[in-house]
Amino acid sequence: MPNFKAKVQVSLRPSVLDPAGEAAKSAAIKLGVKGISKVRIGKAIDIEIEAPNKQDAIEQVEILSDRLLSNPVIENWSLQLDSAYSSNHD
């Protein structure tokens, strides 16, 4: 069965305050970094999944993203799925 590599990006919804982003922005300004108007902090999750085809892999990662990796009340997520590859570390 083919393996797929997925990358899920999770970020706060635009309407949700991001205290960590604001703290990073403030720290960057104190470091002398100029021109930063906004910082939003999220998370990136790398997943390797075995599935019969790309569509099945997408559906499985979508379930994970909706129900486990993100909080749908305050976060959005996006998915990038790379083509099948063979695994040699069995």
Q: What is the pLDDT of residue 53?
A: 94
- Closest to 54 in 3D by CA, of 7, 4, 88, 9: 4
Residue ranges of the alpha helices (H) in 1-90? Answer: 19-30, 54-64
Residue 88's pLDDT is what?
57
CB–CB of 85/51 below 8 Å?
no
Taking the domain 3-85, which CATH number applies? 3.30.1280.10
DSSP 50-66: E-SSHHHHHHHHHHHII
Domains of the chain, by residue range, sit at 3-85
Predicted confidence pLDDT, tens digits, the chain (90 residues): 899 999 999 999 999 999 999 999 999 999 999 999 999 999 999 999 999 999 999 999 999 999 999 999 999 999 999 987 766 544
